[in-house]
Amino acid sequence: MTLLFLPEMMLSFLSVALLCLTLLKNQKSEKFLSNFMLLSGLLLMAGCLLSLNLTGSLFSNTYRVDLFSQGFKTITALAFLLTVLLAAEWNQIPKNRLVEFYLFLTTGALGMMMMASAVDVLSLFVAIELSAYSLYLLAALKVGSRNAESSVKYLIFGATTSGVALWGLSLVVGLTGSTSIAEILASPAALSGQPAFVIGLALFSLSLLFKLSGFPLQFWAPDVYESASTPAVSFIATASKAAAVTVLIRLFFISGMPAAFSMALGVLAFISMTLGNTAALLQTDVKRLLAYSSIAQAGYILVGLLSGSANGMSTAFFYAFAYVLMNSAAFLVLTLVAKSAGHDNPQISHFDGLAERSPFLALMLLLSLLSLAGIPPLIGFTGKWILFSSAMEKGHWFLVLWAVLNSVVSLFYYLTIVKHAYITKPKDTSPLEVPIRLRVAAIGLCAALVLMGIFPGYFISFAEHAVALGLIR
């Protein structure tokens, strides 16, 4: 029984250990800490893989372990590991707060993992809040106080959203009389489409849209991405999106999606994509640019989700995974460029001549950005392709067309960075060294981007299988 809970337990123990570490008088060296975290990350990864095929339910049916949730937990563990690797390299975190940083990272990961497994409204809400608070603090921890403003905005925005969502949740729980998601969605109130119920559910979904950074809840993303420390942004950008997608799939997959919901999601997706892509064209700060791009990517994911079919859900799941890989790769390059520039907000001009300084990094940048843009044969293209195909199957041709046009627009700003990397002459011609750990991770990521793009079959069928198994009844 305990094995079912293995990843969460490991994270809990880790957070307790880190909590104890914060109490220590003499600071442990940064190196020790990063090695410790790396080890824990690897162990976590191992734990997740071990418990991949387990199924069961815990805590009197409020917590469900199946391939779907375990698959997602593996993705989160991967994001965790990569964040830890990046943090070891360059973080703008005050030395005496480094342990807290890792602590909040751990609790955030824990919260997200719990989100994936929660099938009861209460546990879901608690998990969402756990991960949210951890992320607020994660975003706040940075040298200097320039990001006080963005953290406050992040928090207030997120808190208000969860307050509103909670009120909606109260309506839902009240009208159906139970807190189990399966029962809620099968209740007479749901089936008859009682107005209060609909309002409640819609308001609750807002909190998930918040984590996904889709319109209209995307306003925090540019500020947070710009101001938070790079490893924190990497984690926020990748893992919380995947978590949101996971919960959305659990909620909406039960028995298809009615046309009204599809329509609403469609409009939101439309505006997300347009807003994200067009605003990104004007950015010079690369982290802010990536924030807007993540808003657009949220739009694409919504396009997949709104088709409501098994295909749509599984392709959204696959795309979330692909997104973790692509984004982590981009942030890896970003971290190293920031480190060499000594400046946590690299502008596009800081990427000048990257190809001369480090051909390997430039290649990685190229692969990750082209993947984000959706160029074959990379994984981003495959993901987008299957996402849009499943939407087309349900007849949403206009949305797919708009999404494709948006991909074209996005290609511009991605390629601008690539152009600076390859063609513009660098002002600083010192070569960029890639440390060995990061190099290993980088090679793994690049290989995944390319190979999973060309041979996605296994992973797509894994996603389909997982989603089928994740259906809660």
Site for other proteins in 222-261 (CB under 8 A): 222-223, 226-227, 254-256, 258-261
> Do the beta carbons of residue 184 and residue 473 sit within 8 Å?
no
Burial of 35: CB neighbours in 10 Å, binned 0-12, 13-18, 19+: middle
| Residues recorded for the chain | 473
Minimum CB distance to other proteins smaller for 47 or for 214: 214
By CB under 8 A, tell whether 206 contacts other proteins. Answer: yes
Tell me if 326 contacts other proteins by CB under 8 A. no
Q: Please compute, for residue 31, the number of CA atoms within 13 A of its CA located in the half-sphere on the CB side.
A: 0
Write the CA distances from 218 to 75, 223, 273, integer angstroms: 23, 10, 11
d(CA 385, CA 150): 35
To the nearest whole angstrom, how small is the minimum distance from the Cβ of residue 136 to other proteins? 6
129 binds other proteins (CB under 8 A): yes
Beta carbon nearer to other proteins, 49 or 206 = 206
Look-up: residue for tokens 């162990």? Answer: 43
Interacting residue with other proteins among 49, 54, 182, 199 (CB under 8 A): 199
Q: Which stretch binds other proteins (CB under 8 A): 90-98, 121-129, 337-345, 356-364?
A: 121-129
Question: Which region, judged by CB under 8 A, interacts with other proteins, from 130-138, 337-345, 351-359, 439-447?
Answer: 130-138
CB 404 within 8 Å of CB 388: yes
Distance CA 95, CA 86 (A): 16
The one-letter code for the residue type at 98 is L
- Residue of 133, 319, 321, 388 that binds other proteins (CB under 8 A): 133
Q: Which residues contact 259 (CB under 8 A, 6 or more apart)?
A: none
Write out the binding residues for other proteins, residues 139-168 only, by CB under 8 A.
140, 145-146, 148-153, 155-157, 159-161, 163-164, 166-168
Amino acid 154 reads Y
Identify which of 118, 130, 147, 139 has the alpha carbon closest to the alpha carbon of residue 60: 118
- Count residues near other proteins (CB under 8 A): 80
Q: How far is the CB of 271 from other proteins (least distance, A)?
A: 9
Please, what is the minimum distance in Å from the beta carbon of residue 416 to other proteins?
A: 13
Among 88, 98, 245, 279, binds other proteins (CB under 8 A): 279
Decide: is 303 part of the binding site for other proteins (CB under 8 A): no
CB of 171 to other proteins, least distance (A): 7
In the bound state with other proteins, the residue whose beta carbon lies nearer, of 294 and 358, is: 294
Site residues for other proteins, 94-113, by CB under 8 A, read none
Tokens of 268: 């939101």
Of the pair 157, 360, the CB lying nearest other proteins is at 157
Q: How far apart are CA 315 and CA 328, in angstroms?
A: 20
Least distance in angstroms from the C-beta of 282 to other proteins: 5
Q: Which is nearer to other proteins, 174 or 431 (CB)?
A: 174
219 contributes a contact to other proteins by CB under 8 A = yes
Question: Which whole-number Å values give the CA distances from 13 to 35, 352, 466, in the listed order?
Answer: 17, 44, 28
5 vs 48: CA distance, rounded Å: 10
- The C-alpha atoms of residue 353 and residue 349 are separated, in whole angstroms, by 9
Q: Is 300 in the site for other proteins (CB under 8 A)?
A: no
| Beta carbon of residue 376, minimum distance to other proteins (angstroms, whole number) | 24
Residue 121 vs 366, nearer CB to other proteins:
121
Nearest to 209 by CA among 255, 152, 252, 153: 252
Choose one: 14-22, 25-33, 66-74, 209-217; the region binding other proteins (CB under 8 A): 209-217
Which is nearer to other proteins, 195 or 395 (by Cβ)?
Answer: 195
User: Which residue stretches of 306-378 are H helix?
Assistant: 310-341, 354-357, 359-373
Interacting span for other proteins (CB under 8 A) from 19-27, 273-281, 367-375, 416-424: 273-281
